[in-house]
Chains A and B, each alone.
Chain A
Amino acid sequence: MKDVIDVLALQSSRRERRLPDYRSAPSHSLATNFIFECGIKLGLQPATVATAAVFYHKFFKEADKNDYDCYVICTACLCAAGKSRDEPVRLRDAVNVAHNSINRGAGPLELGDEYWSWRGAVAQAELLVLRLLGFNLDTPSPHRYLLHYLRSLQEWFPPSQWRSAPIARTAMAFLQDFHHSPSILEYRAPHVAVACLTLALHVLGVSVPLASTLDDDAAWYSVFTKDLQKEKNWEIMEKIMQVYSREPEPI
């Protein structure tokens, strides 16, 4: 029994070491990491966490990054995203998760001044986020497009080839990671989904069956979205790859 506990302790301490230290990070450099970490800890769906990241990027497209506390706004974005996608988060849980992620190893907050000022700040920030977004909370969901494209492609691939590479998982991971970049706001959801899928196929060295028989200016994804040029697709893929080069401290 003792061995098991030791292993667990070892694993958790190793995991702890790999988690980013938000307190020493330059402001906003780890904002989206914080959203993803807290979102996962709060048990939110990936698409909801992604929505929170979109809210964050939209907010700071309008507001000055020096004017607001990054992590309070991030927490508020998670709360607003949860509500808008019908996956509400208790304010108290959000506050505790945020506090604990910043102060690693700290227990839940006592119901004291610190708790109430955190809570007040997040509640206010949520209203501020809503106001700045003009209550436009309906974010286009590239997740849905990607899922639909994956389902369609799966039918097109020979089953053995489809199973040989983790196409769906890789494409979904690219999509989720792309939410670290404010560039996600610049492209239409179907285009983002196609770019994630194309990039996954390239990375895994898989080609779409019979794609090589197409004309030069035709692309296999034109059945999904007609108005995506090849150059544009490359541009989005490059933006996705940039996420990995600028990530300061991987989780």
Chain B
Amino acid sequence: MSGASTSHSPPQMASITDVSGLFQNAKKYEELNVIGTGAYGTVYKARDLHNGGNIVAMKKVKVALTEDGIPLSTLREIALLRQLEAYRHPNIVRLLDVCHGGQSLERDSQLVLFLVFEHVDQDLESFLKRSLSPLSQNTIRSMSFDILSGIDFLHSHRIVHRDLKPHNLLVTSSGRVKLADFGLAKTYDTDMKLTSVVVTLWYRPPEVLLGTSYNTAVDVWSAGCVLAQLHTRKPLLPGASDSDQLHEIFRLIGRPSRQEWPENVSIMLDSFPAYQAQDLAEVLPRIHPHALELIKGMLIFDPAKRLTALDCLEHPYFTDEPLT
């Protein structure tokens, strides 16, 4: 700094180091209460003071500053979320603002970021718990379509959600479903192999449980589990542990053949009994035949043979009759 300021009248270090002050002066949000805490941060309900006291949801994310400042991955992830926002997709939760936390930013300290989202009163989990009778066929169909439209939108922007579950699918007062919680959403590089602690157990696809590389198909599997849950209002594959989850899966769709079993997997195919595929119609009674066929296509062991989100949207289940 001193170099830049030698010939400039007063050195302007003060205004630079006082960044935090600037943010605090512009207080925009008043925190109300904690909505939830997850592995990736706390979510608060807050009031937007500059926007007529609108209620918003603020996700607090702690970012470790590297020696080169804000990490590139974090920066790109936030920029990507901002970029997506420009499309205002109806099935994606609105990201209204991104701000820094107000604490001092010491050298090599943490940066607190607040992602400000629109506030939606309930998620699909509580929605399903609260509904006393089964959902109507129309509701199920339109919610299924919403979920898949959101997923298709993310996939067409090279984003894999990786953590789809009823808990982060929000249900608006008019019954539309919006995808939320991209805390772990990443730009998609071909064939990346990532940690397995990503998807909530019950909605985890076999390729994640087996630790092989995975791609957009993981979201389709998770959505398949959610769609089935819309019909029965209870989880389709409630496994108790990683291996139990695989047993649950193979009990339902049958143990894969030796040709289908991926290479370089530490778990042997023979460690599973030779389960025969169950008839999904028995698991999901009274389901529309098209819906059944769709879910079957989403719960295929081989990710390459699984339907894509776009395939799903073009399925007769949605196209035979117009959506209301």
Contact = CB atoms under 8 A, between A and B. Distances in A.
B22 interface: yes
Given A84-B79, A131-B100, A121 B17 contact: yes
Contact of B5 (A69, A123, A125, A134): A69
B1 interface: yes
Contacts of A45: none
Contacts of B70: 83, 126-127, 130
Contacts, number: 111
Interface string B77-93: 01101110010000000
A86 B72 contact: yes
A43 interface: no
11 contacts: A23-B6, A69-B8, A72-B1, A72-B4, A72-B12, A80-B75, A91-B68, A120-B17, A123-B65, A135-B81, A137-B79
Contacts of A126: 69-70
A135 to B, nearest CB: 4
Contacts of A86: 72, 76
B1, B23, B81, B105: most-surrounded residue (chain A CB, <10 A): B1
A53 B97 CA distance: 23
Interface string B24-46: 00000000000000000000000
Contacts of B1: 69, 72, 114, 117-118, 121
Interface residues of A, number: 44
A67 B12 contact: yes
A46 interface: no
A124 B7 contact: no
A193 to B, nearest CB: 20
Contacts of B13: 69, 117, 121
B154 interface: no
B15 interface: yes
- Lowest 8 CB-CB distances: which A-B pairs, in order? A137-B79, A23-B7, A138-B83, A91-B68, A135-B98, A69-B12, A123-B69, A71-B4
B82 A134 contact: yes
A149 B72 CA distance: 31
Contact of B2 (A79, A91, A114, A122): A114
Contacts of B67: 91
Interface of B: 1-8, 11-13, 15-17, 19, 22-23, 65, 67-70, 72, 75-76, 78-79, 81-83, 86, 97-100, 105, 107, 111
B68 A99 contact: no
B76 A84 contact: yes
Q: Is the interface of A mostly helix, strand, loop or mixed?
A: helix
A114 to B, nearest CB: 6
A44 interface: no
Contacts of A138: 79, 82-83, 86
Nearest to B98: A135
A121 B16 CA distance: 6
A102 B6 CA distance: 10
A18 interface: no
Contacts of A116: 107
A209 interface: no
Given A134-B97, A137-B75, 8 more contacts: A69-B4, A72-B16, A79-B68, A79-B69, A123-B65, A127-B70, A128-B16, A135-B81
A75 to B, nearest CB: 9
Interface in A72-92: 72, 79-80, 83-84, 86, 88-91
A122 B107 CA distance: 12
Given A127-B105, A128-B16, A99 B82 contact: no
B3, B75, B100: most-surrounded residue (chain A CB, <10 A): B3
Interface in A24-61: 24, 27
Contacts of A24: 7
Contacts of A128: 16, 19, 22
A22 B3 CA distance: 10
A68 interface: yes
A135 B82 contact: yes
A88 B68 contact: yes
A91 B3 contact: no
Nearest to B80: A138
A69 B3 CA distance: 11
Given A88-B72, A135-B78, A138-B79, A103 B3 contact: yes
B82 A136 contact: yes
